[in-house]
Copies of this chain bind each other. A is one copy, B any other.
Amino acid sequence: MTTAEVETKTRTAGRFLERLDAAVEANNSLLCVGLDPDPDRIPIGVGLEDFLVGVIEATADLVCAYKPNAAFFEQYGDEGWRILRDVIAQVPDEIPVLLDAKRGDVGHTAEAYASAIYDWVGADAVTLNPYLGTDALEPFLVYEERHVFVLCRTSNPSAGDLQDVMAGDVRLYERVAELSRDWNTRGNVGLVVGATYPEEVARVRAICPDQLILLPGVGAQQGDINAAVGAATNDAGTGVLVNASRGVLYAQPFKNGCAVGGWAEASRNAAHDLRDAINAAR
Contacts and interface: CB of A to CB of B under 8 A. Distances in A.
A252 interface: no
A151 interface: yes
A165 interface: yes
Given A74-B112, A104-B102, A116-B77, A176 B162 contact: yes
A187 B144 CA distance: 44
Interface in A113-132: 113, 115-117, 119-121, 129-132
Contacts of A131: 104, 129-131, 151, 154, 162-163
A91 B114 CA distance: 28
Interface residues of A, number: 62
A157 interface: yes
Interface string A59-81: 00000000001011011111111
Interface string A69-110: 101101111111110010000000000000000111111011
Nearest to A156: B106
B133 A158 contact: yes
Interface string A5-39: 00000000000000000000000000000001011
Most buried by B among A71, A133, A176: A71
Given A1-B75, A78-B82, A113-B74, A162 B154 contact: no
13 contacts: A36-B112, A69-B112, A72-B109, A102-B103, A129-B129, A131-B154, A132-B156, A132-B162, A135-B156, A135-B158, A161-B179, A165-B165, A166-B168
Given A71-B105, A74-B113, A165-B167, 4 more contacts: A78-B81, A80-B116, A132-B159, A162-B176
